[in-house]
Chain A
Amino acid sequence: QSALTQPPSASGSPGQSVTISCTGTSSDVGGYNSVSWYQQHPGKAPKLMIYEVRQRPSGVPDRFSGSKSGNTASLTVSGLQAEDEADYYCSSYAGSKKWGVVFGGGTKLTVL
Chain B
Amino acid sequence: QITLKESGPTLVKPTQTLTLTCTFSGFSLSTSGVGVGWIRQPPGKALEWLALIYWDDDKRYTPSLKNRLTITKDTSKNQVVLTMTNMDPVDTATYYCAHRKSGVSVYYFDFWGQGTLVTVSS
Contacts and interface: CB of A to CB of B under 8 A. Distances in A.
Nearest to A38: B47
Contacts of B62: 100
A91 interface: yes
Interface residues on B, range: 20 to 34
A89 B46 contact: yes
B110 A89 contact: no
B67 to A, nearest CB: 15
B108 A103 contact: no
Nearest to B47: A103
Contacts of A102: 49
B63 A98 contact: yes
Interface in A5-58: 32, 34, 36, 38, 44-48, 51-52, 57
Contacts, number: 58
B105 interface: yes
Interface in B69-122: 96, 105, 107-110, 112-115
Interface residues of A, number: 26
Contacts of B47: 38, 46, 89, 91, 103, 106
B48 interface: yes
Nearest to A97: B63
Interface in B15-70: 39, 46-49, 52, 60-63
B52 A100 contact: yes
A2 B46 contact: yes
B96 A45 contact: yes
23 contacts: A45-B115, A46-B109, A46-B112, A48-B108, A48-B110, A51-B108, A51-B110, A52-B105, A57-B110, A89-B47, A91-B47, A91-B49, A91-B107, A91-B108, A93-B107, A100-B52, A100-B60, A101-B49, A101-B108, A102-B49, A103-B48, A103-B49, A104-B46
Sorted nearest first, the 10 A-B pairs with minimum C-beta distance are A36-B108, A93-B107, A45-B112, A34-B107, A103-B47, A99-B60, A51-B108, A105-B46, A101-B49, A106-B46
